[in-house]
Structure 1
């Protein structure tokens, strides 16, 4: 399936101009703040939470881990005790009974109580996620094969976000310097540095970022243009499938400034691995300055990208 756009595919030179301008405007902000939401080689567990939702989810996970550990330890100890106490050598004459009412009542009631406790803690977390508050900023997110489109609905700006190394981000100069699509080599390293990223952030770095102010409620309407994608930022504790024909909402309120990475979390085709997400959380005055810059840049682009795509079978 080929995707048609209201605007034709951007020329690489136009893309590079706009990407470079936005990088100049936001690159310093992106890397001055600590990289708080990124995977680390060899590390296990969650990323540091940057929202109340993420803290609640991680707290619930830790509570469930304790409950699961206790249950597993109890069952393992019970099995070992039965093996030792009732093996054939020790218990030469096995008992012949059909049931034990007290035990059967206990192993029915106790699991019910455990589930009630789990539900009492998990349902408030679920409701907090699903009850979308009034947002200070509303952003429409559209997943495409294989990039993201963002529209700041109230501000009248829209742009696409590609992995640095995606063909749409590569210019003739990049290829002349030895750059290759999706390949980390010296030319790609130089391209990453120019955009304000490090080599370690390859496959996470994007040409444009979602920029939001700290401490503000952000509501995102997530949809898909072709197949199902999934918009995810682990440090925010949010994940929402992008389903064609539907708009599903998520929300977050970032408590820390910095750069936060995510990736498409729904298998969506051959380039699924090349759909990163970058969110930059900044102070309000920095956000205001970025917004003015972005409006000027995209207003100057007569072929500004639309978030509406028409699919055809051509």
Structure 2
């Protein structure tokens, strides 16, 4: 999760987020090189005493400043499109979870099980225990098996919401009457925090998302316990 003095992204917990981090570094390096080149040209023009008042046009310069930006855009677009296709690809998910946004909480339904679903509310500040995070903890976590493809169906019951978990590289709008889908693979065990990322009313800031990735045997034990309590 994020820390108070953190400057970069959260640690990646899924292959998609790892690709997004690589693309961020790739794009940032291109921006850095362009900025350096422009700064050098400005300094050179300001500091030089050489001038030429009689140049009306230059075919060579026009070719350079047309071709070079086109090449740079291609270098940015190709890896970006690759990640977009990777994010949309959902092949044989091992588990499907339906996440519904409400004012102001989330409800989860494990569609592969007959009767496994629950509501997830934020734990009030006065009820937190030592070690828990303010405005981020929920009374029920969305538990998933690690290293397994998970499909998440996202919708809303009332107004627009957005289901987002930054460390998993996920953000999907929850639209009433529409069923959107996304997928992820948790590459390591852990607890990953997110929040509703679409302004949805007075308590928009109080509907966190908590995803807990556990080994498969622990997930099976958890699901059996939840089914017994249902």
Q: Is TM > 0.5 for Structure 1 vs Structure 2?
A: yes
Task: Considering Cα pairs closer than 8 Å and 6+ residues apart, tell me whether 1 or 2 has the greater RCO.
Answer: 1
Deviations 1:116-175 (A, max 9, x none): 12222221111000122221000001111111111101113111111101xxxxxxxxxx
TM-score by length of 1: 0.70
Tell me if 1:206 matches 2:165. no
Match of 1:99 among 57, 62, 69: 57
Select the structure that is richer in strand.
2
Deviation at 1:42, TM superposition (A): 0.9
Deviation at 1:297, TM superposition (A): 1.6
Match of 2:87 among 118, 121, 129: 129
Question: C-alpha distance in 2, partners of 1:44/1:278?
Answer: 22
Deviations 1:65-101 (A, max 9, x none): 100011011111111211222xxxx46x761433211
Please name the residue that 1:58 is paired with.
21
Question: C-alpha distance in 1, partners of 2:178/2:226?
Answer: 28
Query: Where does the alignment leave 5 or more consecutive residues of structure 1 unmatched?
Result: 1-37, 166-183, 299-314
Deviations 1:42-65 (A, max 9, x none): 111111111110100000000001
Q: What aligned pairs does 1:1-314 form with structure 2 within 5 A after superposition?
A: 38-85=1-48, 90=49, 95-155=53-113, 156-165=115-124, 184=125, 188=126, 191-193=127-129, 198-199=131-132, 201-298=133-230
Please identify runs of 4+ aligned residues in structure 1 that moved more than 6 A: none
Residue-pair matches, total: 229
Query: Where does the alignment leave 5 or more consecutive residues of structure 2 unmatched?
Result: none
Question: C-alpha distance in 2, partners of 1:145/1:83?
Answer: 58
Deviations 1:12-60 (A, max 9, x none): xxxxxxxxxxxxxxxxxxxxxxxxxx11111111111111101000000
| Higher gyration radius (CA) | 1
TM-score by length of 2: 0.95
Question: C-alpha distance in 1, partners of 2:102/2:147?
Answer: 29
Question: C-alpha distance in 2, partners of 1:122/1:296?
Answer: 45
Deviation at 1:292, TM superposition (A): 0.8
Which SS does the other structure have where 2:154 is aligned? Answer: strand
Question: C-alpha distance in 2, partners of 1:148/1:117?
Answer: 39
Please name the residue that 1:15 is paired with.
none
Question: C-alpha distance in 1, partners of 2:229/2:45?
Answer: 73
CA RMSD after TM alignment: 1.4
Question: C-alpha distance in 1, partners of 2:14/2:76?
Answer: 22
- Whether the 8 Å CA contact 1:132–1:249 is kept in 2: the answer is no
